[in-house]
A and B are shown apart, each in its own frame.
Chain A
């Protein structure tokens, strides 16, 4: 799908118009001045990083995630991209994605993003039911999704993802079906479907009793497979636990995580993988704004042992529908996967959670439902 030396850059934009009830990501509403200061710091980080990673090979993807990158002035996005292109070897055909809320898309902004080089949009639709959207604390309506999508197409975006959530409070399988159908009518190139996860500290978790009941486990699984079957019958291919794409439209940036390609995470709380080392930036906003050297903000630096890397190969790689090639394991580590993981592989092939065929290992559908239970066995 991608060549071996493709690298990615992730840019975190920790701002949103309003915190959604289920969200535990590093994001919050912030005044304009704070946003401006943040971009100044981000530019400093990019320059410092460029010095450190000057010799890194070409970058094939850039991903603006958040938060809501679509919220900030398009000029700031352009400024970041200009800086990146000046400092790094960004391929001319790089996949450059920007996440946005459907309610924040207008023709001027879309044109500015395109002009800056953004060529892929990811729309956080989550649902096409206004009642559900309101319940989740989303700022947009189903109509705005359709309008935003049409505007994006008109602006020339031919690679668009739509995020959908399932297992929402009070949601039935019929409700989900209506959202899926509304989504299919738009025919985006890519779809991400996530089950709502009740995270600690979120409004939803704290006031769970004020919401309609969450679907039970059996219903949640039924919804998951309902989405998978629906999308597969509408021309999408599942390539990862939560991701679906039309042929050739898988998100390269997303895939690079599962294939352990190097990526630089820039911005508040962003994570990187470089030279078999994982590290994460500070998630304290005021600390980030003050950054003068990279060591000011770098946290949780973990040098991966060979054993760690071997484990990651499997527990990340197996998230892909096609799984992993055992040959890739040997190429990467000079030892056969059988030698390191023969017992785990055999055990889970026997219990029906892994499928091993033609030198390839992947999760079965049953294995996918209980993937954590399987994947933890690969840890050292």
Chain B
């Protein structure tokens, strides 16, 4: 098993990734490449080998970067080791993408033969350029009737400036011209540099928790050699451990080997007790012979979106804590800390990279850990500058200080790039204005397509902006953004009172100009979500002591099954059981029962 690793010549290694706009065929190309290299028979291939979480397969997007080592016999008669480092395909995961790119020497940039360049094509390309990667453009989906490879070639040359003379025209779906991509990888991407005898310097680009091996750290070795017994140090956290095993990534499995040397991509296990010690982007070195400085680019990931996660059953609080801890092993960007809500009891305030990330974590907690969760409305992090000059980063609306103590509030602003066909420019501009966007210019990247630049409050885009964008452009708009700055804004806290009692978990922060309308919509939404109960329930929205909206859930009038025939009580029992189940999924607030999903109502205020 270790024969390969012994013989591998550094100049025969190619470390690369595939980057693309969402749905341009990244995972499918990865599958074809793995198939072509023959390490996996067709029969063994599950569709999309690299997306190994069910959730990813269902959503058709890659959330967690995976990586695989493959052997390619090139046309020059030589055998090459290709390390394909997969990258997450969503704007939420930009930091993970950047770390994966940093582990590579080149990138295959896929562009859809009919859609052409999209917002994330550009975003990913710029990211690859920042890491000095050799970028190989590839035009995919040439099998589609709507494919226009010549137009897309021209677009790549004009917009990105990459030479498209020999661009591979492929159909990843049908396996057409995949060899051209492999040959380009071998001949155009440089072999990794680095010296196996220098002090150890590895980049962590991912980590995974395995119940047998413990934390498995995915690394790219830049300098030096690491093997079993090496005492390693994680430079950012200072933790030190002895290496238990090193190895490389077979398709769907970990294959141990003797050592990992400069230029190689593989994994390290050590008896790592504290998973927080292995942070994506950190540098691993030899504790006894450390490198002089860590690799650049590490930062502690900062969540953009926060929400409260509570167990539906209060007794499950320790289970939730354990599950979050385990998830964090695989997801350095997930952050959490305990909090208490008057309405929901003990839970956690959790930080996520974005709403998709939140969704994924929530679903994994429910599916993989069998937890029933109540999630409060997600919000961004606001900066509160108090009258005494102190600054507070506000992640939970309930903690907002009294207005008299607030000198100024600031909210995060992002710079967004939206690419859209000419016909929908007006619609999209209107949408951005509705979302308090500040216009920063527009350019036509070809006759029919424009790139719009806006500064937008993050708060306005985290919920449903992407959906709104798609629906108002009939799916033709694409979108990318990055954090810009905190800016002063007039913000207020909207409180919700259910049956005259304030429900802390329903409070949210909103731009003052929208507050009343949001309050009205929130009341309407809650009225739909809260089932009728024995008494009438007023639902009110308030800013401070001022009530801005009110709705009423009428009292339950009738809930009686009159006929109960021939001694068949099973039907009646089933009905009662269902009803009991429904009650279980509610939270008792005062004497009102509120369904769990109501706490997410604020997300649906724009459904129309």
Q: Which residues of A does B touch, CB under 8 Å?
A: 8, 10, 12, 25, 63, 65, 194-195, 197, 217-218, 220-221, 241-242, 257, 263, 265, 269-273, 278, 280, 300, 302, 312, 315-316, 319, 351-353, 366, 368-373, 375-377, 379
Contacts and interface: CB of A to CB of B under 8 A. Distances in A.
Interface stretch (B15-23, B500-508, B570-578): B570-578
A302 B568 CA distance: 13
Contacts of A373: 533-534, 556, 559, 579
A76 B435 CA distance: 77
B198 interface: no
Interface residues of B, number: 27
Nearest to B561: A372
Nearest to A63: B566
Contacts of A302: 570
B188 interface: no
Given A351-B534, A369-B558, 16 more contacts: A10-B567, A194-B563, A218-B557, A220-B558, A241-B560, A257-B567, A271-B566, A280-B570, A300-B570, A366-B534, A370-B534, A370-B559, A370-B560, A372-B576, A376-B583, A377-B580
A375 B576 contact: yes
Contact of A65 (B560, B562, B566, B577): B566
Given A265-B567, A271-B570, A197 B558 contact: no
- Complex A-B, nearest 10 residue pairs according to Cβ-Cβ distance, in ascending order: A376-B579, A376-B580, A376-B576, A271-B568, A370-B559, A372-B559, A373-B559, A242-B562, A371-B560, A379-B580
Contact of B570 (A197, A241, A278, A366): A278
B474 to A, nearest CB: 34
Interface in B550-608: 556-570, 572-573, 575-577, 579-580, 583, 591
Contact of A312 (B535, B569, B579, B583): B569
B594 to A, nearest CB: 16
Given A353-B534, A376-B580, A195 B562 contact: yes
Contacts of A280: 568, 570
Contacts of B573: 315, 379
B391 to A, nearest CB: 47
Interface in B150-174: none
12 contacts: A10-B566, A12-B566, A63-B566, A242-B562, A265-B568, A270-B566, A270-B567, A271-B569, A371-B559, A372-B559, A376-B576, A377-B580
Contact of A315 (B565, B570, B576): B576
Contact of A221 (B558, B565, B569, B580): B558
Contact of B560 (A12, A269, A372): A372
Most buried by B among A257, A315, A375, A377: A375
Contacts of A369: 557-560
B163 to A, nearest CB: 65
Given A353-B534, A375-B576, A379-B577, A65 B565 contact: yes
Contacts of A351: 534-535, 591
Contacts of B563: 194, 197, 242
Most buried by A among B562, B563, B564: B562
Contacts of B560: 195, 241, 368-372
Contacts of A352: 534
Contact of B567 (A271, A315, A353, A366): A271
A312 B564 CA distance: 14
A300 B571 CA distance: 12
Most buried by B among A278, A369, A373: A373
Contacts of B565: 25, 65
Given A217-B557, A221-B557, A372-B575, A257 B564 contact: yes
B569 A278 contact: yes
Contact of B562 (A197, A257, A278, A376): A197
Contacts of B556: 370, 373
Contacts of B564: 257, 319
A220 B558 CA distance: 9
Given A369-B557, A370-B558, A372-B559, A273 B576 contact: no
A241 B561 CA distance: 9
Contacts of A312: 569
Contacts of A257: 564, 567, 569
A80 B533 CA distance: 48
Contacts of B534: 351-353, 366, 370, 373
Contacts of A220: 558
A252 B270 CA distance: 75
A280 B569 CA distance: 10
A221 B575 CA distance: 20
Nearest to B572: A315
Contact of B579 (A8, A65, A366, A372): A372
B567 A272 contact: yes
Nearest to B583: A376
Nearest to B560: A371
Most buried by A among B563, B566, B569: B566
Most buried by A among B559, B560, B565, B569: B560
B583 to A, nearest CB: 7
Contacts of B583: 376-377
Contacts of B533: 373
B567 A263 contact: yes
A131 B36 CA distance: 76
Nearest to A240: B564
A8 B566 CA distance: 11
A181 to B, nearest CB: 21
A31 B565 CA distance: 25
Contacts of B575: 372
Interface in B504-562: 533-535, 556-562
B558 A376 contact: no
A218 B557 CA distance: 7
B562 A241 contact: yes
B413 to A, nearest CB: 48
Given A351-B534, A377-B580, A379-B580, A265 B558 contact: no
A257 B567 CA distance: 6
Nearest to A367: B534
Contacts of B570: 271, 278, 280, 300, 302
Most buried by A among B559, B565, B567, B580: B567
Contact of B558 (A65, A217, A273, A379): A217
Contacts of B591: 351
A12 B591 CA distance: 45
Contacts of A270: 566-567
A353 B535 CA distance: 11
A370 B535 CA distance: 11
Nearest to B578: A376
Interface in B235-292: none
Contact of B576 (A65, A221, A379): A379
A316 B557 contact: no
B499 to A, nearest CB: 13
Contacts of A371: 559-561
